[in-house]
Amino acid sequence: MERLRVAVFASGNGSNFQALVDAIEAGQLHATMELLVCDRPSALVAERAAQAGVDTFLFSPKQYPNREAYEAEILKQLEAKKIDLVVLAGYMRIITDTLVKPFYGRLINIHPSLLPAFPGMNAIQQALDYGTKVTGVTVHFVDGGMDTGPIIAQRVALIEEGAGIEEVTQSVQRIERELYPQVVQWFCEERIQLIDRIVHINS
Ligand code: GRF
C-alpha cells in the first residue's frame, strides 16, 4: 500500500503537527508529511516544519483580495503535491467550499471538546465556565460549518475538582497528541468509512 500523503494546516504552536511528524519518523504512520500550510509566518509551527524539513506554504491572508483567492492558491499547492489527507491542527480560519468540496471526506479537524458541546473558540474555557465534569477531544470531518462535521473519534478528559484552564488544557493536549496520529493511521489503513453522516471504523 502507498504511503498516505498528508498536509497539515496550522496557525500557532504546532504541537499536533509535531506529534504527526514524530509518529512518521518513529515508523508508526504509513504516511509522508508533504506540506505545512500556515497563515502566520511568525508561528512556531513554521519553525517546527523547517526543522523537520517539511515544505511550507506560508501566506498572509491580507495579501489576497478575499478568502476564495488564497484558498484557490492553497488548492493548487495541495493538488501539485497530490495530497491524500488534509489535517487541520489549530488552523484559525474558516474553510470554505473552495477547499471543502474537493477534499470532502479527506479533510479533518481536531477540536478540544466533546462535540457537539462547545464548538468555536476557547472550547476548554467554555466547558469550565459551564461547569461540566468531563470534556475531551473530537476528531471530525470538516463540512464547512463551525465544528459540525461527522465525528470520527472522541476521547474523554476528566475535569477534577479545582482544576483550572492550565491543567485541563494540558490533559486535553496530551490526549490530542495521541489521538490525532492514531486517526491518521486509520486513514492510512483505509479503515474509515463515511456513510451519510455516520463514521465507521472498520477492523
Ligand atoms: C489544539 O488544542 C486543537 O484542538 C485546536 O487548536 C489547538 C492547536 O494546538 N484546534 P497546536 O498548535 O497543535 O499545539
The string of DSSP codes covering 79-100 is HHTT-SEEEESS--S---HHHH
Give CA–CA dist 47/190, Å, rounded.
31
Each residue's pLDDT tens digit, 109-122: 999 999 999 999 99
138: CATH: 3.40.50.170
Residue 202 falls inside a structural domain: no
CA distances from 21 to 35, 124, 132 (A): 11, 25, 33
Strand stretches in the chain, DSSP E: 4-10, 31-38, 56-58, 85-88, 107-111, 134-141, 151-158, 192-195, 198-201
For residue 29, give the 3-state DSSP assignment: coil
Query: What is the predicted pLDDT for the residue at 93?
Result: 94
Each residue's pLDDT tens digit, 45-79: 999 999 999 999 999 999 999 999 999 999 999 99
| Closest atom of ligand 1 relative to the 12 alpha carbon | 12
Q: Domain range holding 119?
A: 4-197
Give CA–CA dist 49/28, Å, rounded.
19
Give CA–CA dist 99/71, Å, rounded.
7
Each residue's pLDDT tens digit, 159-171: 999 999 999 999 9
Residue 126 falls inside a structural domain: yes
CA distances from 1 to 5, 30, 150, 190 (A): 12, 9, 26, 10
List all residues whose CB is within 6 A of at least one atom of ligand 1. 10, 12-16, 89-90, 110-112, 173, 176
Phi-psi region of 196 (alpha: psi -120 to 50; beta: other; left: phi over 0): left
Q: How far is the CA of 20 from the centre of ligand 1 (A)?
A: 13
Q: How far is the CA of 162 from the centre of ligand 1 (A)?
A: 23
Q: Whose Cα sits closest to atom 8 in ligand 1? A: 90
Residue 203 falls inside a structural domain: no
Q: Whose Cα sits closest to atom 2 in ligand 1? A: 112
Query: What is the predicted pLDDT for the residue at 1?
Result: 81
Residue 101 falls inside a structural domain: yes
What the block records as the C-alpha cell of 9 is 494546516
Closest CA to 145 of 107, 180, 113: 107
Closest CA to 168 of 100, 122, 203: 122
Active site residues: 111
Residue 184 falls inside a structural domain: yes
The number of folded domains in the chain is 1
Reported as a pLDDT band with limits 50, 70 and 90, residue 132 is: very high
Summary mean pLDDT of the chain: 97
Q: Whose Cα sits closest to atom 1 in ligand 1? A: 90
Query: What is the predicted pLDDT for the residue at 47?
Result: 98
Name the residue of 36, 109, 173 to mutate for ligand 1: max ligand atoms within 8 A of Cβ: 173
Q: Whose Cα sits closest to atom 5 in ligand 1? A: 90
